[in-house]
């Protein structure tokens, strides 16, 4: 004597709806019927149902299972592909878990690129937006480099720069650039790549990188701040731009 659909589902640890779905997609053959018209499942149906659930549990799709012979060799090629996909998924999950742990540890930085939670305290809102833009145009190596050199807390110079208004006079801009230049000069000496970071593969060209960063700078900082950044770079690299307004005599 065989089993009803309900009994078969219970034996396989599944539901009536699942058994019926397997029938609909052709994974499970219809059983013979009793004289009263009710289905009568046999051992082969239970075995097939359990096999389907086993393969599905290993990550195979119903479409993949449907291509396999009912009684054939193990689907090693399919399982190898699933194994590789799972390895990548596990790696991504571990990275995500580490990122979340860092955000929880530092209490901020969830919207920053991965790994930047530790330096979130040293970034203004504009800086955070700029770093986020950086993540779309710079390589992973460059982003790791930026993460290593960014301060963990805002310095007095950082605060002066963030509070600099667009109508700041030339003297104020120059003094601030002179304060910032030694630090930038030291960074250029320790990390020469900073003067010409490589673009990410998605961006492809230095031209696109520069235009993207220039646009971000223009929208995130006022003209006085942008001028200070430029003056700082000139001082740190021993360059001069005669187009810049010069200060009044300090004598």
Residue 45 neighbours by CB distance under 10 Å: 23
Q: pLDDT confidence of 67, banded at 50, 70, 90?
A: confident
Examine the domain organization and report whether 136 and 220 are in the same domain: yes
Return d(Cα 88, Cα 72) in angstroms, integer: 29
- Element counts in the chain: helices (H) and strands (E): 11, 0
Measured in degrees and rounded to the nearest 5, phi and psi for residue 199 equal -75, 155
**Any domain includes 203:** yes
**Any domain includes 125:** yes
| Mean pLDDT of all residues in 188-204 | 90
Examine the domain organization and report whether 139 and 227 are in the same domain: yes
Examine the domain organization and report whether 101 and 188 are in the same domain: no
Q: pTM for this structure?
A: 0.71
What pLDDT score was predicted for residue 248?
62
Return d(Cα 72, Cα 7) in angstroms, integer: 27
**Any domain includes 245:** no
What pLDDT score was predicted for residue 213?
94
| Number of domains, the chain | 3
Whether residue 74 is predicted with pLDDT greater than 60 in this model: the reply is: yes
Contacts of residue 68, Cβ cutoff 8 Å, sequence gap at least 6: 55, 75
Residue 219 neighbours by CB distance under 10 Å: 11
What pLDDT score was predicted for residue 2?
87
**Any domain includes 248:** no
Examine the domain organization and report whether 131 and 207 are in the same domain: yes
Plot region of 222 (φ>0 → left; ψ -120 to 50 → alpha; else → beta): beta
Examine the domain organization and report whether 28 and 125 are in the same domain: no
| Mean pLDDT of all residues in 170-198 | 94
* Helical pair 125-137 and 140-149, crossing angle rounded to 10 deg: 150
Measured in degrees and rounded to the nearest 5, phi and psi for residue 32 equal -70, 165
Examine the domain organization and report whether 155 and 231 are in the same domain: yes
Range of the domain at 63: 5-70
Q: pLDDT confidence of 251, banded at 50, 70, 90?
A: very low
What pLDDT score was predicted for residue 196?
87
Return d(Cα 69, Cα 72) in angstroms, integer: 5
What pLDDT score was predicted for residue 30?
93
Examine the domain organization and report whether 180 and 168 are in the same domain: yes
Examine the domain organization and report whether 52 and 136 are in the same domain: no
Contact 206, 215 (CB under 8 A): no
Query: Tens digits of per-residue pLDDT, 15-42?
Result: 999 999 999 999 999 999 988 888 999 9
Examine the domain organization and report whether 145 and 219 are in the same domain: yes
User: How high does pLDDT run on average in the chain?
Assistant: 92
Contact 3, 37 (CB under 8 A): no
Give the CATH number of the domain where residue 55 resides: 1.10.1660.10
The DSSP secondary-structure symbol of 35 reads T
Examine the domain organization and report whether 18 and 80 are in the same domain: no
Query: Tens digits of per-residue pLDDT, 75-129?
Result: 888 899 999 999 999 999 999 999 999 999 989 889 999 999 999 999 999 999 9
């Amino acid at each position: 004597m065989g089993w009803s659909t309900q009994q078969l589902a219970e034996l396989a640890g599944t539901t009536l709806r699942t058994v019926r779905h397997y029938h609909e997609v052709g994974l499970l053959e219809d059983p013979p019927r009793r004289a009263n018209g009710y289905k009568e499942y046999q051992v082969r149906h239970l075995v097939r149902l359990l096999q389907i659930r086993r393969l599905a549990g290993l990550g195979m799709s119903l479409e993949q299972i449907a291509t396999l012979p009912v009684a054939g060799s193990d689907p090693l090629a399919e399982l190898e592909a699933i194994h590789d996909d799972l390895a990548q998924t596990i790696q991504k999950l571990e990275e995500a878990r580490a990122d979340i742990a860092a955000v929880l540890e530092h209490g901020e930085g969830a919207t920053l690129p991965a790994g930047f939670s530790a330096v979130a305290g040293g970034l203004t809102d504009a800086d955070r937006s700029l770093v986020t833009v950086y993540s779309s145009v710079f390589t992973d190596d460059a982003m790791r480099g930026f993460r290593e050199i960014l301060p963990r807390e805002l310095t007095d110079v950082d605060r002066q720069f963030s509070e600099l208004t667009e109508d700041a006079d030339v003297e104020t801009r120059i003094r601030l650039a002179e304060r910032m230049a030694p630090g930038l000069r030291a960074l250029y000496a320790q990390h020469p790549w900073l003067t010409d970071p490589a673009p990410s593969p998605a961006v492809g060209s230095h031209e696109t990188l520069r235009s993207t960063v220039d646009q971000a700078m223009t929208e995130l900082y006022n003209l006085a701040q942008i001028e200070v950044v430029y003056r700082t770079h000139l001082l740190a690299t021993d360059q001069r731009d005669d187009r810049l307004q010069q200060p009044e005599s300090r004598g």
